[in-house]
Amino acid sequence: MTPSPVHTQWIDIAPGCAGYLALPPAEHGPGLVLFQEIFGVNAHIRAVAAQYALDGFVVLAPDVFWRQTPRVELGYEGAERQRAFTLMQGHKDEQALADIAAAVQALRARPEVAGARVGALGYCMGGRLAYLAAATTDVDAAVAFYGGGIHRQLERAATIRCPMQFHYAGRDEHIPAAAVQGVREAMAGKNAEVHVYPGAQHGFNCWARASYHAPSAALAHGRSTAFLAAALF
């Protein structure tokens, strides 16, 4: 079997906090902080890191729940799903902001990034964290996939200066159409894109979930890659 051209490893971000680093085949490029769903830096998030590394980005996925259960990996149903929601509820905003800043700083300091631009990308809870990264750090671009809770922090949109892209499911039981419209209005006049996928449900990008919707996932990935390439390369 041919070895993967993407080299991966866990690295230290800050005392106690680690992150999963995926290097592109060239072993250098613009940085991309990848924020997990509530299920940890699991097999899906690691695969997404490899996917964007193959696109040419140096990807760092911080372990968001490190204070509660370091390197937790959870599934999408039953008791593991419930545990994921419990971890999310115990994740405090002030800690999240500190961790976001630490991850961005750690990635900028990597020799593989070497002064290149850095963006943020996230899914579900991680979509909200990518939005917060755009609002509170110096990232050069951000992409949020079905970011839960963004519509409750729209006041932070005023501080976003970088280009930002949003992806939403048209049949999302967790994020109503009114919430998406609120994001559109809050980002009006900014360098922002809001895409809605009519046939998709929440979590449509994750091939390990019942809600996976391949046409929407492919389209959204293409849009995200083009957007990030234009902003970061």
Domain segments of the chain as ranges: 7-232
DSSP string, 152-196: G-GGGGGG--S-EEEEEETT-SSS-HHHHHHHHHHTTTSSEEEEE
Contact 110, 217 (CB under 8 A): no
Shortest CA distance to 141 belongs to which of 121, 122, 156?
Answer: 121
Shortest CA distance to 7 belongs to which of 53, 40, 41?
Answer: 53
Please tell me the predicted confidence (pLDDT) of residue 3: 86
pLDDT tens-place string over residues 212-233:
999 999 999 999 999 999 999 9
Active site residues: 124, 172, 202
Rg (CA), the chain: 16
Please tell me the predicted confidence (pLDDT) of residue 41: 98
Q: Would you say residue 47 has pLDDT above 80?
A: yes
- Strand 31-35 and strand 141-145: the pairing is unpaired
Contact 183, 207 (CB under 8 A): no
| Residue 220 to residue 146: CA distance in whole angstroms | 11
The CATH class of 7-232 is alpha beta
Asked whether the whole model's pTM tops 0.85, one would answer yes
pLDDT tens-place string over residues 183-193:
999 999 999 99
pLDDT tens-place string over residues 111-145:
999 999 999 999 999 999 999 999 999 999 999 99
